[in-house]
Each structure stands twice: as structure tokens, then as C-alpha cells.
Amino acid sequence: MKKIGFVGLGTMGGPMARNVLRKGFPVKGFDLNPAALEKHREAGGTTAGSPREAAEGVDVLITMLPDGPDVERAILGENGAIHGLKPGAVVIDMSTIDPAYTRKIGKALAERGVAMVDSPVGKTADHAIAGTLTLIVGGDPKAVDEVRPVLDCMGTDYFYCGGLGMGEAMKLANNFLANTILSATSEALVMGIKAGLSLETMMAVMKTTMAWNNQLGISLPKKALADDFSLGFMVRLAEKDHRLAVEMAKSLGVETPVGSAAFDVLKQASGNGLAGLDVSAVLRLREEQAGVKVRMAR
């Protein structure tokens, strides 16, 4: 049985680590938050005092952190995991970061005989708890195959996207589109309510046309339309992912006028005190501007 280290036991990482534990793998976890460490201990895991300590003696180290600089610091920093990892180990970074960071970190690890796989995840915190995340994977096929049993503890939908960094590229493209659809959908619903339409009429009509999307069908009814803005996925993290996607597009010479406008919406939401709410709070931003509310009948 492989020994697992896990750095980043937050909203997503905590339940992901617990699902690895439930499948019988020993998991040594590290997080800056003492409460997260205590929850990991209560679930049967052991804890470490640093990323380096979390990496010592493990076969697979998983990182689930907010952004590229956090991952770089946790792995390559003064007390980073690279100083504790043994040759032959594999690092799985499940954060959503710039692919350039992934490849830089992967190069440094390879020089120590450690392989790296990137596997950012799709879906929500509820899916992290259920172990049904979407796994968006990049890396050398041999390393990916080696850690597949560990990945399967956390997700049910698996997609291999290519070499190291390609999982990140796919995740950024995905979130870029999801955020853009959310912004446009919110504007359309608020426009309709302001014009005097009912939400029920709009939903019924849109379900029969090309306007229909999973924001309308799944996400918004569960969150914003039910007046629930508690966390699934924070506005500030959606803003970060979208920024990375726009930057990736720019580096590739791809123009993104529509997506860049959606990024401005996310920045506006963060600046209006919504940064810590679920990303569906983009709807609230449009509601407040228009002076209406869009909610499902109870």
C-alpha cells in the first residue's frame, strides 16, 4: 500500500484527503490551519509540521493549494516537499495554476528523480466530499498510471489530456468558459425579471433552446436561485482561475474579448464584497445593480 502525503487540507483538499484515507491509504497531511489538521487527525490521518515533513517517506505527495506561488513555495521552498521526497516518488498537484508553474516545478523535481503529474479537478466541494470529482490529468503516462489508484479515490470522471501541464491548460479553458456562461446567464435572467417575465417562464423556454446550459440546469438552481451563496467555489478563486486563463490565451496569441469582459465581472464582484461567497453570487451583483431579485418559488 502506497504511503500518501497531502499538502492543503482546505475546502476541497480536506475531503479529498479523507476519501484517500477511506480507501485504505495512510495519509500524512499538512495545512497552515490547525483546525484542518485536527479534522484530518479525527478522520484517521497523521499530521506533519511542514510540507517537507509531509513528504518524508511517502510514495505519493498530493498538493491542493490556491495558486502557483503557493505550490512552488510548498514544493520548492526552504522547507518544501522537495527536501523530503525520496527518488522514485510522484507528486500530484491538484491545484489550478498556470501550466508554466507546473512545468517549472516538474523540472526541478525531475532533477531529484521525482515525477510530477498535474490533476486539477472539476465540479464542487460537494463532489469532493462524495469522491466524485472530475480528474483532469497531465503528465508522463507511466507516472500517471502509477498514481491512478490514488486519483480514483477522489474522482469518478477521468480525462488524460497529455503531457505535464496539459491538465492545467484544460482546467483553465474549462473554467474560462464556465465563468463566462455564468456571467451571461445572470445578465439574461435579471434582464427578464426586470422586463416582467417570471423565472419559471424563462427556464421553461430556455430549456427548449440553445440558451440552455448547466449553470441554468444545475448550478444556479442549487445555489443563487435558492438564495444560497454559501461556498461551493469562491468568487475570488474563480477570479484567479479566469485571470490565469486570460493570461494563457494572451500568451498563445488568442484574443478573448468576451471572456475578458467576464473577468471584469468577477473583479467587480470581488470588489463589491462578494469575494468570499460562492461564484454564483455574480447573479447578486447584477440583481443589486438592477434592483430586482431572481429566485425560485418556494
Half-sphere exposure of residue 222, counting CA atoms within 13 Å on the CB side? 13
Cα–Cα distance, 109 to 249 (Å, whole number): 27
Sequence-separated (6 or more) residues with CB below 8 Å from residue 219: 182, 232, 280
**Beta strands at 60-63 and 90-93: parallel, antiparallel or unpaired:** parallel
Give the pLDDT of residue 224.
Answer: 96
Catalytic annotation on 171? Answer: yes
What residues contact residue 216 under an 8 Å CB cut-off, 6+ apart?
185, 203, 206, 207
The number of C-alpha atoms within 13 Å of 265 and in the hemisphere containing its C-beta is: 26
Give the whole-number percent of the chain exceeding pLDDT 90.
97
Q: Do 154 and 163 form a contact (C-beta atoms < 8 A)?
A: no
pLDDT value for 233: 86
Q: Which helix (H) or strand (E) covers residue 56, if one does? A: none
pLDDT single digits (tens) 89-110: 999 999 999 999 999 999 999 9
**pLDDT for residue 255:** 98
- The catalytically annotated residue of 171, 194, 222, 267 is 171
Position 296 scores a pLDDT of 92
Compute the distance between CA of residue 286 and CA of residue 184 in angstroms, rounded to an integer: 10
Cβ-defined contacts of 221-228 (< 8 Å, 24+): 221/296, 223/278, 223/280, 224/186, 224/278, 224/280, 224/281, 224/283, 224/284, 224/294, 225/199, 225/283, 225/294, 225/295, 225/296, 226/295, 226/296, 227/295, 228/278
pLDDT for 1: 85
- pLDDT band (50, 70, 90) for residue 2: very high
Summarised one tens digit per residue, pLDDT across range 194-220 is 999 999 999 999 999 999 999 999 999
Confidence of residue 142 (pLDDT cuts 50, 70, 90): very high
- In the prediction, which pLDDT does 298 show? 72
Average pLDDT in the chain: 97
The per-residue pLDDT for range 182-199, each reduced to its tens digit, is 999 999 999 999 999 999
**Cell 506533519, residue located:** 48
DSSP reduced 3-state for 47: strand
- Cα first-last separation, the chain: 49
Rounded to two decimals, the pTM is 0.94
Residue 179 has a pLDDT of 97
pLDDT in tens, 226-265: 999 988 889 999 999 999 999 999 999 999 999 999 999 9
Domains of the chain: 4-164 (3.40.50.720), 169-290 (1.10.1040.10)
User: What's the pLDDT band for 125 if we cut at 50, 70, 90?
Assistant: confident
